[in-house]
Amino acid sequence: VIITGLVTKIESINYYVKCEDKIYHCFLKGNFKKKFEYKKNKLITTDIVVVGDYVDFELNKEGFGLIHKIHKRKNYLSRKAPRIKGATIKGSRLEQVLAANIDNAIIVMSPKTPQFNNRTLDRYIVTAKACNIPETIVINKIDLADEDFKYWINLYQKTGHNIITVSATENINIDKLKSLIDKKVSVFWGPSGVGKSSLINTIYPQANLRVGDISDYTTKGRHTTVTAQLIEIEKDTYLIDTPGIREIEPFGVSQLDLGHYFNDIAKYIPDCKFNTCTHEHEPDCAVREAFYKGKISEERYLSYLNMLDSIEEDINYL
């Protein structure tokens, strides 16, 4: 019999696959090996099976599952892998898939402690969009916000983002956030100290996560392994933990792609004269024109330019 299940944890060659409240200890079938392939002129390593994947397996005589098939992914979180000697050609970098089939990217920011940083927020948004993961902006510590902070809420609402304001300690709008992640697979992102663990503990008091269990981008060297895990925080509700991942540099976002991940910029791109326009200096750029007319806010345009600047253009070798 073939069983279909959800991969919740991987430890070296051991795969833990959940099907109807049962966890099966599985291995990959022999012909399933890590492979390298080219995608969009880039060398990628499909880490074959990652957490969040739905897989088919059959039990062997010893009661272990042998995985022989991965179901098609609706999306996946990936990053540029660290440079590995021998695996790269002329400085190009591999794509490392961390987790698949993610329903929500919950991007948590705070108005204060730490101070709100719109460029950091925009980076998380771009990562979510580049991975095709629906994102929601969660402003925690709304109890600390002053009047001026409304500016940012309005700005992101205007640009078509889903944004909710909450407080973990004052219990504001916690039910709203809960309804978003109930029975879904979500990943929490945000700078250290914005209250990710506090939020999770407030929503799921029985989970009793230690502060810091849900890793963030900025924490250095706390964990040693780099295997993501699905934590079942409540029946059929999963959080993705990506220990040791300091920073997710979105994979495959080229300078030409970037504008498409900024809602307010994207809509003007079709009107640029050149289809190679990066909206920085090119003539007849509809984006810059929109900016000069005040249709794109200065903060967003500068954030875009800043990110554009930081994208390393991989050498094309094909």
In the complex, the residues that contact ligand GDP under the rule CB under 6 A are 140-141, 143-144, 167-169, 190, 192-198, 211, 216
CA dihedral 132, 211, 145, 156 (to 10 degrees): 0
User: Tokens standing for 35?
Assistant: 């492979």
# chain residues binding Zn ion, by CB under 5 A? 5
Contact partner at residue 155 from Zn ion, ligand GDP, none, CB < 5 to 8 Å by partner kind: none
| Helix, coil or strand: residue 48 | coil
Q: What does the buried/exposed string (b/e) look like for 91-108 if buried means 16 or more CB atoms within 10 Å of the residue's CB?
A: ebbbbbbbbbbbbbbbbb
Q: Of Zn ion, ligand GDP, none, which one sits near residue 287, judging by CB under 5 to 8 A according to partner kind?
A: Zn ion
Token pair for residue 199? 């939020």
Q: What's the Rg (C-alpha) of the chain?
A: 21
Residue 279 binds which one of Zn ion, ligand GDP, none, with CB within 5 to 8 A depending on kind? Zn ion
HSE of 5, CA atoms in CB hemisphere, 13 A: 25
The CB-of-36 to ligand GDP minimum distance in angstroms stands at 36
Name residue 80's beta-bridge partners.
95
CB of 182 to ligand GDP, least distance (A): 20
Contact between 277 and Zn ion by CB under 5 A: the answer reads yes
The residue whose Cβ lies closest to ligand GDP is 195
Q: Which does 198 bind (CB under 5 to 8 A by kind): ligand GDP, Zn ion, none?
A: ligand GDP
Binds Zn ion (CB under 5 A): choice among 79, 141, 279, 300: 279
**Collapsed DSSP state (helix, strand, coil) of residue 230:** strand
* Spatial CA neighbour of 66 closest among 31, 19, 21: 31
| Closer CB to Zn ion, 253 or 277, in the complex | 277
Strands (E), 149-194: 163-165, 185-189
Q: What is the rounded CA–CA span in Å between residue 109 and residue 213? A: 18
Residue 277 binding result from ligand GDP, Zn ion, none, given CB thresholds of 5 to 8 Å by partner type = Zn ion
- Residue 32 phi/psi, 5-degree rounding, is -95, 90
Query: Is 92 or 219 the residue whose CB approaches ligand GDP more closely?
Result: 219
Does 272 engage in binding with Zn ion (CB under 5 A)? Answer: yes
- Cβ proximity to Zn ion, 25 vs 273, nearer residue: 273
Among ligand GDP, Zn ion, none, the one that 232 touches (CB under a kind-dependent 5 to 8 A) is none
> Is the four-CA dihedral 40, 45, 51, 55 of positive or negative sign?
positive
| Interaction between residue 287 and Zn ion (CB under 5 A) | yes
Q: Does 285 bind Zn ion (CB under 5 A)?
A: yes
**Nearest-angstrom CA–CA distance, 117 and 218:** 14
Report the partner that residue 168 touches, choosing among ligand GDP, Zn ion, none (CB closer than 5 to 8 A by kind): ligand GDP
With respect to ligand GDP, which residue has the nearer C-beta, 46 or 167? 167
Q: Give least dist CB 281 to Zn ion, A.
A: 9
Give the residues lining the site for Zn ion (CB under 5 A).
272, 277, 279, 285, 287
